[in-house]
Structure 1
Amino acid sequence: MTSALIDQTLGSLACSIPGATRVFHQYKLDFCCGGDQSLRDSAIRRGLDAEQIARLLESLEPASGDETDWRGEPAQVLIDYILERFHERHREQLPELIRLASRVEQVHGGRPGCPNGLAEHLWHMQQELESHMCKEEHILFPLLRQGFPAPQVQGPISVMRFEHDQHGAALARLAALTDDITAPENACNTWRALYRGLEELRRDLMLHIHLENNILFADAPANA
């Protein structure tokens, strides 16, 4: 079975194996924007042992109730979950992260490792995410809820996929600014709180994109 897993895409594995996303986070494998890449190819790019990761996936035991198999759910149900779990959450996360980043830069801007420029980057992420989520809420999601045929939804889906790639690039820039979201040993409490929040944002945004790219958009309009 290990060899079979190696040749499956990260997106497919994230959908079919409860707990796989935790493993992918651990190994920093992009299962959202890079969900169409095989485990083998993704591991090679990062210099990782694909067979070791596959064996770990095989050994997973689902955590209690923390993951749902969304592939068999109607589009309306998944859309409601995305709106509540991710759209609302991102709108809560980013203003506080921007405030914390500004504080850290003001107080520690001259110290090695200070993420100078992070507050501005998060502000741009907030603007792009808000625009993206509004398009989904007012254009794409209503079309999917009403079961419009493929020619009418594929245009908006293509735009959303393109913007997801931009969000992935923004996460890569965030990682570059923060030493992969690793606080210095002597970082203050505000700095550590900021990085805990950034890690949560990264995990949430990657899962958000995964559910849309690899399930909602992949099945549209069949699961409407």
Structure 2
Amino acid sequence: MTGISLDDTVATIAAELPGAAELFRRHDISFCCGGNVRLSEAAVKAGLAPSELLSELEALVKAAGRDAPEETSDLIGHILDRYHQTHRAELTWLIPLAQKVERVHGGHPSAPIGLSQVLERLRDELESHMMKEEQILFPTMQSGGGVGIAHPIAQMRREHEEEVEHLRTIEHVTHGLSLPPGACGSWTALYTGLRKFADDLVTHMHLENAVLFPRFEPQSRGAG
């Protein structure tokens, strides 16, 4: 996402702009169930001036990808080390922690029922997605690309959209990652970890969708 408009929906912005989800949570703006509303409407409903909220989001646009390497091979290495390996490591402990919180606090009205199942589906789909990038797409890019590269890129973009849907489900079942009063340490650690994981995944997808993939798409379109 390279620019923000007041006509964009909050759901789209949260899915594509690193840091937007946390900004919306801070302003108590829902972007999972009620996310298909324009930014201007969401701002007014939250008691904010639309121009004020837009300015905050534009600052995030300027910051997005600022720390990513410029060279393609370095950028791919950054994605692999900073995101692929980190997602795998974090899901390894987030899933059993979610299972524990659901088991211990299942009777609580704020319990994140179904969270562990969503995380397991996301883990399986994300692992498949990342393996395809690691074994096929990224090596092709590091070799300079090619005529057929448009197809795997298009598939990766579609899979990103599926991952976004899982993130929206996580936001929904956790009530916007809102902890109830007196939440235990496990519940608190779970939501802290989920917040970082979700923000990381959005940043990861942004770097691929907005920075890495476009470097090869004009080439593939021209070759076709």
TM over 0.5: yes
| Aligned ranges 1:49-88 → 2 under 5 Å | 49-56=49-56, 67-68=66-67, 70=69, 73-88=70-85
Is contact 1:6-1:51 (8 Å) kept?
no
- Alignment-derived partner of residue 119 in structure 1: 116
- Alignment-derived partner of residue 169 in structure 1: 165
Is contact 2:19-2:199 (8 Å) kept?
no
Is contact 1:97-1:194 (8 Å) kept?
yes
- Alignment-derived partner of residue 158 in structure 1: 154
Is contact 2:137-2:152 (8 Å) kept?
yes
CA separation of 1:103 and 1:59: change in aligned 2, threshold 3 A: closer
Distance 1:23 1:81 in 2: 22
Distance apart, 1:25 and its partner CA:
3.5
Distance apart, 1:129 and its partner CA:
0.5
Distance apart, 1:27 and its partner CA:
2.7
**Gapped regions of structure 2 (runs ≥ 5):** 26-36, 220-224
Give the TM-score of the pair, scaled to structure 2. Answer: 0.76
1:51 aligned partner, one-letter code? S
Please state whether the residue corresponding to 1:185 is helix, strand or coil.
Answer: coil
Structure 1 residues 164-204: Cα deviation after superposition (integer angstroms, max 9, x where no partner): 00000000000010001111112111000000010011100
- Alignment-derived partner of residue 213 in structure 2: 217
- Alignment-derived partner of residue 143 in structure 2: 146
CA separation of 1:45 and 1:168: change in aligned 2, threshold 3 A: farther
Is contact 1:97-1:198 (8 Å) kept?
yes
- Alignment-derived partner of residue 176 in structure 2: 180
- Alignment-derived partner of residue 193 in structure 1: 189
1:139 aligned partner, one-letter code? I
CA separation of 1:178 and 1:213: change in aligned 2, threshold 3 A: same
- Alignment-derived partner of residue 28 in structure 2: none
CA separation of 1:96 and 1:5: change in aligned 2, threshold 3 A: closer
Is contact 2:7-2:39 (8 Å) kept?
no
- Alignment-derived partner of residue 33 in structure 2: none
Distance 1:155 1:178 in 2: 35
Distance apart, 1:8 and its partner CA:
11
Distance 2:114 2:4 in 1: 40
Distance 1:8 1:109 in 2: 39
User: Matched residues, percent identical?
Assistant: 36
CA separation of 1:128 and 1:57: change in aligned 2, threshold 3 A: closer
Distance 2:134 2:163 in 1: 17
Of 187, 204, 209, the match for 1:208: 204
**Gapped regions of structure 1 (runs ≥ 5):** 15-19, 29-40
Distance apart, 1:56 and its partner CA:
3.5
In the alignment of these two chains, the number of paired residues is 194
Is contact 1:157-1:217 (8 Å) kept?
yes
Distance 1:133 1:58 in 2: 30
CA separation of 1:45 and 1:81: change in aligned 2, threshold 3 A: farther
Structure 1 residues 55-94: Cα deviation after superposition (integer angstroms, max 9, x where no partner): 346778x99xx94265xx1211110000000000001010
Distance apart, 1:42 and its partner CA:
5.1
Distance 1:219 1:7 in 2: 28
Distance apart, 1:112 and its partner CA:
1.0
Distance 2:8 2:211 in 1: 13
- Alignment-derived partner of residue 32 in structure 2: none
